[in-house]
Structure 1
């Protein structure tokens, strides 16, 4: 055993999974507080909701566009440096967001810098490291546990964010949240796994891209994830304001978003576990179909605290269950060598949907004074995603099967 092996011997699969969950908790938790800042920031600056929504939509777009590159860097050089660099950008973005006095400054800080930070501290990079260090029979469950880490951040950080806004104002709250994100940098050391190419290491990046692009299943995963992004970004950003507009309190809205995170802990674990024992693509069909039903019922029943929290709980169970299933299918079909890059590309579809969901929600409200049309679009897209997931071929490619 050489010195390099000795120095990295403590990076066991359990350590990597645990630290990955903590990083996702911090990164995703802070990201999910955006909806809490919509009303105080727009009121103080005199901005429209569309102005705020566009910056968050831009964040999602940049996050998605940068994820394949962050994943490729992690695949090629290991994830440690990628995570550190992204964490630094994330912190700078939050601090500058607190000082943004114009829509352009807000777009550059909350949109571009935080989007770049998220690309290297969330799913594409962290899931790739975890996937490389777990066996095939345990991989779906491990990815589900990691997804639950992101969900726990949503549940745990949202009340903290609301408390900070109430106690210190939104500007100081952003700076304090930036301090929390800064903890990701030292944690990145555990992600520096000295990555060695997995099976299929003789394949080049260009060959991997060409192979994936020629598979219909890869396109189905991309567009299914697009719908997931539209729904989650719209609900996360606009649900608190939708509930306040309906006569409920801001705390009810905050609690609803936190409940999504709480129940998603169980949902991510459940779908990760089930994905290791059954058909991942069938589970995706179930998630998208049930989402459509849940949104439809929520729109038809009278709005109340109970209906808001029940809807949040149901959506929470379904929220990030798509992550271990989608990432698991990429690994299962195409192998581990370029898992971070390929999941980053599929995640781009998620973020294109997120851009539309975040921005279009604000646009529709400013134009119509209501979110009704956005909810209808979310229902229709959910049905399409269920239909899109059905024909996915889960079998490993011939090259991957041979490897």
Structure 2
């Protein structure tokens, strides 16, 4: 089946599944920080232990993402996504029965990290790109990314309510229910496997050759290196903001409300940047996101937090949260085409997850050692400003292979 053979209903079916799968996978994962204070008090782990579990989650996600991308490009998204849902549920079950740092690390770290490489943004963007025409691609990826953020507005308040009323184990049972909903969502999204991807017009290319081509492109290397800061900043906030607010004596409900606001405003932000990415330079939009995030982090942490400042900060960061996803995916397609999009996006994502590892574990290590998050947020701001400016220097020229395949009229 060709993409042009799809009806509007079929396209909506695939995009809806991708958005729901992404929404639940990311919504639960980004709410794990709400469990940190309770796990510290009730099973005796430290902030550094919890941070290491989340850091491992991110490094496992990044390390396995290229391989899951290769598998999805070769065999289709269905086996990858369904496997991911099963592993996600297994990780939640391990966390629910945790009595030590080891079991938290196994569940929230290893299992969820592997599951995210099968169910989160990389695979969701890959099936989305296949289901729509090139002219609609940036907008469609922005829309799926936007809808995919709604999971945080559900998972965060639900988790906080269940933690407060029934305990953190019951909250994780609620998450297991959400994981069950991911099964039909993954099935819907993977209908994109039936869509033919146009073959290369030039010399046929293997996955190894595609990776070698990408790593030899200076623009792709800049994209991947700058992507590091995205993971660092976002995971630092989702992992440590609830604990930071607890230290400052602010009601825990503010933390969950802040995370829900991140998800809500991300709906608008992701759609906005998906739309802007179809009109303006993706590299400048991406660099601008990194710079603006850094400015908002500095403005929030430089003074003692209040409930109002926390919610304003959450709304500002939410607007910039997953707007990077359609931009990064669009740049990968622009440089190298659609054939190995999941693979090449996955390779770049490894850099993102290295940043996530530093943001999660480094933040906890700094707090445990110094009793303050000051050095952590200051480092986040400095590296964000540098990465944003670096991203704006990216070489936008497509690979020689793609240039030979495209007509001169295709805009860059």
Alignment of 1:83-162 (within 5 A): 83-162=81-160
Structure 1's 249 and 385: CA in aligned 2 closer, same or farther, altered over 3 A? same
Determine if contact 1:132/1:198 at 8 Å carries over to the other structure.
Answer: no
Q: TM-score normalised to the size of structure 1?
A: 0.95
Q: 2:306 & 2:262 partners in 1: Cα distance?
A: 17
Q: Is the 8 A contact 1:144 1:269 kept in 2?
A: yes
Q: Give 1:45's aligned residue.
A: 43
* Counterpart pick for 2:387 among 373, 376, 385: 385
Q: Is the 8 A contact 1:75 1:195 kept in 2?
A: no
Deviation of 1:336 (Å): 0.3
Q: In the alignment, what sits opposite 1:354?
A: 356
CA contact (8 A) 2:17 2:184 kept: no
Q: Secondary structure at the match of 1:277?
A: coil
**Cross-structure match for 1:183:** 181
**Whole-angstrom CA distance in 2 between matches of 1:218 and 1:147:** 22
- String of CA shifts for 1:103-132, please: whole Å, max 9, x gaps: 222212211111111110011111111111
Q: Which runs of 5+ in 2 are unaligned?
A: 406-412
- SS of match in other structure, 1:183: helix
Contact 1:288 1:383 in 2 (8 A): yes
Distance 1:9 1:271, change over 3 A: closer
- Partner residue in 1 for 2:314: 312
After the TM superposition, which of the residue ranges 286-295 and 186-195 deviates more from structure 2? 186-195
Which residue in the other structure is 1:255 paired with? 257
Distance in 2, matches of 1:247 and 1:167, equals: 20
In structure 2, what is the equivalent of residue 25 of structure 1? 23
Counterpart-to-counterpart distance in 2, 1:334 and 1:199: 13
SS of equivalent residue, structure 2 residue 149: helix
Distance 2:9 2:77 in 1: 13
Give the alignment partner of residue 281 of structure 1, picking from 267, 277, 283.
Answer: 283
Q: Which runs of structure 2 are paired with 1:197-276 in the superposition (5 Å)?
A: 197-200=197-200, 202-276=204-278
How many angstroms does 1:258 deviate by?
1.3
Q: Give CA-to-partner distance per residue, 1:226-276, whole Å, 9 cap, x none.
A: 100000000011111112211211011111111111111111110110001
| Whole-angstrom CA distance in 2 between matches of 1:116 and 1:327 | 21
CA contact (8 A) 2:17 2:187 kept: no
Scaled by the length of structure 2, the TM-score of the pair is: 0.93
Contact 1:199 1:335 in 2 (8 A): no
Task: Please give the root-mean-square deviation of Cα atoms over the aligned residues, in Å.
Answer: 1.9
C-alpha distance after superposition, 1:345-385 (max 9, x if no partner) = 11111111111100111111000111000000110111111
